[in-house]
Structure 1
């Protein structure tokens, strides 16, 4: 008899799903790097077999119970397969996005101290050029063909490991580390976030709730285009295999042409992406709104959402009760709260006013508690007064690998310092304002960005950088084929808090994280001290 809920450990998840009455078929946008000959469509049995076979060659490469495995590769659902295969034999997988800077990847790998590293050829080429690369002695399983000399680094190809015997499952206890992911890294090198099976399951509880309209139906086609290295995807995968939609579409390449192809083929009924990915897809929804006509639920995670971006997607849907779920969470905690929006409550006001999407509702009752504290005294704030958002939940991670002191500095007993800045109103609803390190006194960078994107419709991105006692600095990116109109800008900012003259930067040049957030510290460094505070002058306590 199968379990009612999936097993807590990801190493057993795919075997469990293959035993269920309702199963899902997984579709990916390109063949898996770990299985380039198996195509792009996988049923439940094929996924379970792939996890087992992958655990065999990982063991042959040197992974074993208790060892750590670094997984550094291009964005693809196979990162989750690799993690499950590692956990299946009692190893500790660390999924690291290839979009991180090479120096940061090396730093994270050194903290991890892996027994085996699995990486795509492009990542291997980059790290092999690092002077005095410290992990040359560690077995590297290179996916694809690297155009570098591998003489001085121990390497395997998949063909070297093929045919290895599948070892028996050997799962670690649920209270021991099960997987490692990393933070987005908007301010510095991403931190390695350690979760156990218990904390990961606690972060999945929200998605197991039978929320009407909010969970997948067996008839659904669910499309997700996020960072599959992220802790969000561990919870997402368990929840989707539990609810078992008809199709699960994983799009690792966020580009317009790939997304348009996958939407054309699969016509999803629910869609999840990051805010900046939705923003990047605006040309699709404007040119081919029919591709979104059947969507009943949109979800965004990882960052704040702008109403001018969500609105055209909602309007493209012909579903009577289409919803937008704006989720607030963190790698370290999982989901904390969510705002629910409809076509009606996201419309512009008759006076031209623009609704903001940083009103996130109540923290998930019975699962997460949130309080607001003063950044200086750390005393709890009354309703309506801004401060640091602190969270209490059994889903909080158990460590920052290699950064224990930083982890302990962010804990205050049972409470976790999110580093986010906001308020709770009289009803207890959370209103997100900014990251604490980026906060603007008596205003909100997020709300200014939302307003400007609404008023100037040819801007693809606006980033408002805090600047101490001086006026904030906006960085703007016009859409391709358009130019920045200074007169239009001046009209748009007339009733806003004082801003410096904007810096115009092409969208492609904006430094981004693996979740497509803006690397604000790197952006500050590129602009220079003469216009904006350098990263070193920011309040570093809450990073």
Structure 2
């Protein structure tokens, strides 16, 4: 008999209720923004839980007055800002299904996703309609275009100002309630369909992880279109944490705000944490009060973990790393302390979440591999999405007897520790683990902002490196650092901004390989 997880009651996590429940429970807790809301610039940068709940109510009333109804799909694609969250909650509050499309997606990709969504409503802004979407033919792909500003060819939400309030609508716990998209590191993103029940099953273990830091000020720089953000927000609102929401990750902008607010909780993307290493000894000690760092979306380099934990003056800070994907939510977790980080294996991404997830390694025949044997990572979780919208066959192909194929290669220790080797598609025959070599190089060369090893035109390992401040890479130091590593091509030095990235700053390795194969290299690059 196949292993199954025990059934739990059909409970749900409803995004449209979060701010109202938090305001009722905790009152006026401070929320600070680093840029004004596009939907209400006059609201300023300092708000409280009740004010945000009121904004959600106002937006929900306007969206209902515009004609949006329960279970209707609404694509949300606008310039990056915290009001993406408020619009998402407002749509959820009236029972609509927000389909969150990253602000960083190229126009043609957005057009393809709108086509897959089968004529959804679209909420956007002038910058998108006159920029990336200008040649996409949006009117023919959507039911109606609503704009948060005065974009030409769209109905402004201001038209419905003063609309009567509409009470919350709760969809059935197993009914689609949110659509996000996969990272798109290997092509056009897939549309992941969530429901309140699967989202609740992700929320509960994350609440347990958040209990030790309940009520601490939290600083977040995360993708507002990723499901992980909403679960973390749900945890923080539940415990009444003051919030600092950062859109701009530049240390010159983020550093002073972090120093002013002294967060006890900080979460961002792993590549942003690498950028924030320079905040470890920045003026004002912006990370000195951090008790808990959160890292998800991708593995994090041991060097970065050590620097972050070393920057805190708290007695026993920690970093929680979550391993998972949009389709599953977290399936494994790892906690680093200062002591464990000093001897950490960057390839160890943790163990399964007791009672909520199971993880195994499958061999080429699809059978469970023995301890220490490499194979395909698979997971079983109650937090798995319902389907890929418009691509049920693709979804079914990743399932086998209830086990979800994560797309990664790895192995498990005797005690269940999960170790990540590489993405299946990124493997290079002459390198056991690209990720392990990258960790070693990041540790040996402090000046590196990033290093990515990808297969070149002939499947040879090609290192693409980014140096802090775009300084030239030291040829001697590079050769010393790589002397005992697998043979690789000469490194290519690029600016970090030239690396193709997802909305969570994951590097698109397949895209880099394509660029190398086609000779479509960045105009400004450095040779070594």
Same-fold call, TM > 0.5? yes
In 2, the alpha carbon distance for the partners of 1:474 and 1:174 equals: 47
Aligned positions of 1:102-251 closer than 5 A: 102-133=107-138, 135=140, 138-146=143-151, 150=152, 153=153, 155-209=154-208, 211=209, 215-218=212-215, 220-245=216-241, 247-251=242-246
Deviation of the 1:215 alpha carbon: 4.1
Which stretch has the larger CA shift, 280-289 or 299-308?
280-289
Change (3 A) 1:328 1:24: farther
What are the Cα deviations for residues 362-383 of structure 1, in whole angstroms up to 9, with x where unaligned?
2001110011012x32221111
Deviation of the 1:342 alpha carbon: 1.7
1:438 to 419, 426, 441: 426
Q: Residue 427 of structure 1 aligns with which residue?
A: 415
Which stretch has the larger CA shift, 57-66 or 295-304?
57-66
Q: Could you say what secondary structure the match of 1:346 adopts?
A: helix
What are the Cα deviations for residues 3-61 of structure 1, in whole angstroms up to 9, with x where unaligned?
xxx96211222222222146643222112222221112222221221111111111222
Aligned positions of 1:407-422 closer than 5 A: 407-422=395-410
The alignment status of 1:479 with 2:468, answered yes or no, reads: yes
The alignment status of 1:465 with 2:478, answered yes or no, reads: no
What is the aligned residue count? 510
The alignment status of 1:525 with 2:514, answered yes or no, reads: yes
In 1, the alpha carbon distance for the partners of 2:448 and 2:218 equals: 30
The alignment status of 1:37 with 2:26, answered yes or no, reads: no
| Conserved 8 A contact 2:139-2:145 | no
Which stretch has the larger CA shift, 10-19 or 96-105?
10-19
Q: Residue 351 of structure 1 aligns with which residue?
A: none
| Conserved 8 A contact 1:57-1:164 | yes
In 2, the alpha carbon distance for the partners of 1:194 and 1:248 equals: 28
| Conserved 8 A contact 1:18-1:44 | yes
Q: Residue 386 of structure 1 aligns with which residue?
A: 374
Q: Residue 352 of structure 1 aligns with which residue?
A: none
The alignment status of 1:56 with 2:61, answered yes or no, reads: yes
Q: Could you say what secondary structure the match of 1:63 adopts?
A: coil
Q: Residue 369 of structure 1 aligns with which residue?
A: 358
In 1, the alpha carbon distance for the partners of 2:284 and 2:457 equals: 43
Q: Could you say what secondary structure the match of 1:514 adopts?
A: coil
2:383 to 352, 372, 395: 395
2:504 to 509, 512, 515: 515
| Conserved 8 A contact 1:207-1:215 | no
**Structure 1: 5+ residue stretches without partners:** 1-5, 349-354, 533-543
| Conserved 8 A contact 1:7-1:16 | no
CA RMSD of aligned residues (A): 2.2
The alignment status of 1:257 with 2:249, answered yes or no, reads: no
Q: Could you say what secondary structure the match of 2:338 adopts?
A: coil
In 2, the alpha carbon distance for the partners of 1:281 and 1:304 equals: 16
Q: Could you say what secondary structure the match of 1:293 adopts?
A: coil
In 2, the alpha carbon distance for the partners of 1:122 and 1:530 equals: 31
The alignment status of 1:304 with 2:299, answered yes or no, reads: yes
| Conserved 8 A contact 2:454-2:512 | no
Change (3 A) 1:168 1:66: same
**TM-score relative to the length of structure 1:** 0.89
Q: Residue 266 of structure 2 aligns with which residue?
A: 271
Deviation of the 1:510 alpha carbon: 0.7
In 2, the alpha carbon distance for the partners of 1:142 and 1:418 equals: 37
**Structure 2: 5+ residue stretches without partners:** 1-10, 522-528
Deviation of the 1:432 alpha carbon: 1.3
**TM-score relative to the length of structure 2:** 0.91
Change (3 A) 1:180 1:122: same
Change (3 A) 1:429 1:485: same
In 2, the alpha carbon distance for the partners of 1:215 and 1:409 equals: 39
Q: Could you say what secondary structure the match of 1:66 adopts?
A: coil
Aligned positions of 1:316-395 closer than 5 A: 316-347=311-342, 355-374=344-363, 376-395=364-383
| Conserved 8 A contact 1:63-1:91 | yes
| Conserved 8 A contact 1:195-1:398 | yes
Q: Residue 5 of structure 2 aligns with which residue?
A: none
Q: Could you say what secondary structure the match of 2:339 adopts?
A: coil
